[in-house]
Amino acid sequence: MIDAPRIHVQNIAEKGEVVRVRTKIPHPMETGWRKDHDGNKVPQNRINRFVCTFNGTEVFSADMFSGISADPYLSFFIRVEESGTVDCIWEADEGKSFKKSATITVA
């Protein structure tokens, strides 16, 4: 079972400020290469891509491969010029996706 993804950004920023975005998603990130106790192959189950947008404009993205650990954590910075919404989307195997959003108000 996948718990809800998490995103952390400061709620209020000044115009032009660089803001840190921290994200984490609980996910097993199975490569498909491992075997269980009975010798059966554990099916692949990975997050393949991460995309972050601010007010609909892509500001950060990452392709994830088999070397990424379980429960991937990403941290990056964005510059905010206006109030808006940070949307983070994790795309997984079998067409599944997970989304989490946060709002930043520019004072």
pLDDT in tens, 25-70: 999 888 888 899 999 998 888 999 999 999 999 999 999 988 888 9
Domain contains 101: yes
Q: Which domain holds residue 15?
A: 6-106
Query: How much is the pTM?
Result: 0.88
- Of all residues in the chain, the percent with pLDDT exceeding 70 is 98
Domain contains 90: yes
Domain contains 40: yes
Domain of 56, CATH number, reads: 2.60.40.10
Domain contains 60: yes
The structure tokens 């097993």 sit at 28
Q: Between the CA of residue 72 and those of 17, 29, 48, what are the distances in Å?
A: 26, 8, 11
Residues 6+ away with beta carbon under 8 Å from 57: none
Could you give the 3-state DSSP secondary structure of residue 64? coil
Domain contains 1: no
How many separate domains does the chain show? 1
- Of all residues in the chain, the percent with pLDDT exceeding 90 is 77
Strand order in the sheet with 57-63: 12-13, 97-106, 84-92, 47-54, 57-63
Pick from 19, 10, 9, 24: nearest CA to 78: 19
